[in-house]
Amino acid sequence: MEYSEKVMEHFVNPHNVGKLEDADGIGEVGNAKCGDIMKMYLKIENDIITDVKFNTYGCASAIATSSIATDMIKGQPLSEALKLTNKAVVEALDGLPAVKIHCSVLAEQAIKAAVKDYYDKNGIEYNPADFEFEEHHH
């Protein structure tokens, strides 16, 4: 299986790994099929993601996509973070092997889950449609 240099770089030295003790939003998602679990922590101020950390138990693709996704949403308003698609993440990594595309969906789901957690905790109204993601079946 061929991984791009970007994927390997983020897999070997993933960015933003760890846990935020005082996270404003936490999202945990998993894919039972491949056993990947991803937990994302967001620190949010004035609707801006000021800090983000993640823990991923999974394959190289899952870790690389989490790493680059956190880079892409750091410093962004929540509305922008919610627009991040797994397609954009895959493009940022210069592509993924087709069988691994589903791993990139986890990052998108984890971000949405963490933002939703923040909204729920703070009683902020949101449009549920913003949090729907397509299920990918194989």
Residue from 49, 64, 103, 107 carrying the catalytic annotation? 103
The question of whether 59 is a catalytic residue gets the answer no
Residue from 17, 20, 34, 48 carrying the catalytic annotation? 34
- Tell which residue, 83, 94, 117, has the closest CA to residue 9: 94
Q: Which are the catalytic amino acids?
A: 34, 103
